[in-house]
Structures are given as C-alpha cells and as structure tokens.
Structure 1
Amino acid sequence: MNDLSPLTADDRWAATRPDVLQLYSFPTANGVKVSIALEEMGIEYEPHRVTLADSDVKSEAYLKINPNGKIPAIIDPDGPDGAPIRVFESGAILIYLAEKTGKLLGRTAAEKYEIIQWVMFQMGGIGPMFGQLGYFSKFAGAEIEDPRPRERYLNEAKRLLSVLDGALEGKEWIAGDYSIADIAIAPWLRGLEGYGVRDAVGWESYTNVTAYLDRFLARPAVQTGLNIPAREG
C-alpha cells in the first residue's frame, strides 16, 4: 500500500481507506465537479468534507494538501508511476482523472483539445465572472451602493451565456460527446439559481443553455455527485 502521510499534515481528515482516491471538497459549483467526475468514471474514492471556513481551508492540515487554501483537492495513492500524487484546482483534477481513466476526454487529440479549451472557458470565464456576480448580488458585495461592480459582472455573465448558447446550437453536449467540459460548465449554470440572478441574466432566453442544464442534471451520476460530500457534517 502506498504511504499517503507525506501529503497530509495530520489525521484531521484521516483516510479510512488509504488504498482509494481521497477527495477533499465541499458541494459548491467547483467542488461537485470532481465528485461528479468520479461518479461518472466509476473511480473508487473516499470523500472528506472540508468547509469553506478558514478553520478548514486555511488550516495547516489542509494547506499541506492544497497550498492555495481552496477546495477541491485530491490525493491519489495510485498516481503516475504508481506513486501517490496530490492534485488541486478543479480543472486540473478533471483533466488528471480523465487522462488516468481514458474517459470523458475524447478519442483523438483534436477532440481532447476541443474539450480542454471549454474546460478553460469555464475556469477563466464562467467561474470567476459568475462568482463575482453572485458576490455582488447575494453576498457581502450586495451591500455596496455603487451599481457598477454588479453591472460589470452581470453584463459579462450575459455575454458568456450568449457564447455558450451559440456553441450549443444543434449539439447535445458542448464538445460533441459528453465530457469533462460539461462537468466543468454545468454546475456553474446551476449556481445562477442559488445566487438569485436567473431573472437578471435573462435565463429563459438562452434556450440551448437551459435545455443543456436539464440534460446534465438528469444524469444519475450527476444527481449523486451533487451531494458529495454532504453539506452538513
């Protein structure tokens, strides 16, 4: 059995099954990307609930797993060349898991990069912009009287939705077959409802996007992964 101890600081999130992949996460839009991917790919794993509180993500124990102090992260006891590996950043984890299993990353090099570019579209565009819109609409930023920050992110969210809606025309999934690109994008689309901004972005006008999210949410692995780890400990 591979020794995971060099990758963890203490037994705060001790593995009870150290022979399987360890997931450190919380069911946010970023967090569920990985649990959904693990479910879709049929990888055995042990989930650990790491809340967004500083007492968790900024703790010495967690910073050894992810020095950026964010969720999600994984430790795979069976990494490249059979050695344990730690991976953080949700997009990097998705690519790692897809390459490890040979699933959800296309069949050709061209398909692979079509998928990866849409993962990057989510990582660099949808995630940060939707997250900022949520901050200025529902969370602490909503108290700011100046309307310009919210308008900036609202307009950018609309633009990104338009890009996505156009790219989905005549397609079931964003890069052809179902892939990690869909697993990256769709949870953030679902998050717009939680932020209470669907009406503001004109959600119903993006008919390709709304149907796309419905298809995604209907998948059994998605339904399971959306609730792992459990929100309440």
Structure 2
Amino acid sequence: MRLRLTEFRPRTGPREHRVVQPRHTLRHTSLTAPEPIGLLLGDHDGLNRLAGLFSFAACSRHTIVHVPLRDGIPPDEGWGERVDLVLAHHSYGLRPSKWPELRRTLKAGTPLSVRTDEARTHKDADAWRQRHTRADFRDELRHATHARTFFLFGSRDAFARAAVNFAYAAGWGPRQKGVGEGRSAMVTGIWLKDQPGGGHPREVLICFKPYPPYAHFKRPGG
C-alpha cells in the first residue's frame, strides 16, 4: 500500500524525533479510549489506511506515528470522548506525559510517500499468532491515555498483527448486514495488555460504518 504522509523532525533537548502523520485526515474514522472497552468506527478508506499505518509503524522502530482522529467528522453513535492515536515501539521510550510538548512542535512538515510490504506484515503477524498461546508470551500491545490521545506501544510483530486486523475489517466490514442502512458492524478488535489489579480486559472494538448519506453505499455483491 502507498501511504501519503507528512514527516516532522522536531527536537526536544539534544534528541531529534521523527514523527509522521497521514497527509489527509481520516474524515470518517473515530476512536474512543478503552475504559475498559474502546470503540474505533471507520469506513473502508479509514480502516484500510489504518492497516497501512500500523504496517508502517511495525517496520519503523525509530518513528512515532501520529493519527489526529479528532480532526474527523464526529460519528452519530458510540460512546466516550474522541481521542487521537499514537503508535510507537516499546524501544522508542516515548512517555505520554511528554507528548503534548512534542506535539506542539509539529509545525513545518515535509511530504513523504512510502510503500508498505503486505507480505512481510502477514509474515510478522503469523509469527505473533504462533507465539501468543505460549505461557511465557509477553509480546502484547501496551497502552495509555493522556491529553486526549490514546497511545499504543508494541513490537514489530504486535503492530503487524493489528495491521492485519484492520485490513480484515476494511475488507469484510462492508459485507456485514445492516451497514447499508447506516448501522455499524463490529468486525474484530485489538486486545491489550491487562492492567495490574485485574478487572475487565481492555480492548478496542474495530467496527465498520459507512458515512452518510447512506444512499451512496452499496454492499459488495449487492
């Protein structure tokens, strides 16, 4: 997949960061943080582009991927306050408390076009799936919410697994019953590392939802 991005190279102290954003807003995609269940609503374009962004994040250990989902059109269903999305590898060491300062420096970006490697993404996702049932498995997506931003921290394989889930939702979401009338359809999800102390497992539901007016939408094969 070809992604059109904007790249920023801000500095905080002696460190230079690399931050990328989608060049164009995901207009019909929104996210609420998991408390304990989050909701991601997206049309085909939004879910497909998120698949590409997660795939790019998987291969970019030294890059922060920032998706300003609050800039999109508010959905007509769902719950909770909308948040932006940030993806970063565990090894990057990004602290959510430092993100607002870094975000304020994202002013003069440059256009960037990249291509993702779907075959490699599927290979990495398969490697994650083969390991995740082991008793010593620790390769889960960690998360935090701060300053109206939802952070996901992971490894190459964990981000690749999420990318495959988004691609699946983009492909199969339009085939679900009721979406032609504007109803959302839950297709898959992102399951997160549990917080200490137990409680309901944290997860983000990935749902397909066409954008209005719904007369434009035709289910595949319909």
Whether TM exceeds 0.5 here: the answer is no
Q: Give the structure with the larger helix fraction.
A: 1
TM-score by length of 2: 0.27
Larger radius of gyration: 1
Q: Give the structure with the larger strand fraction.
A: 2
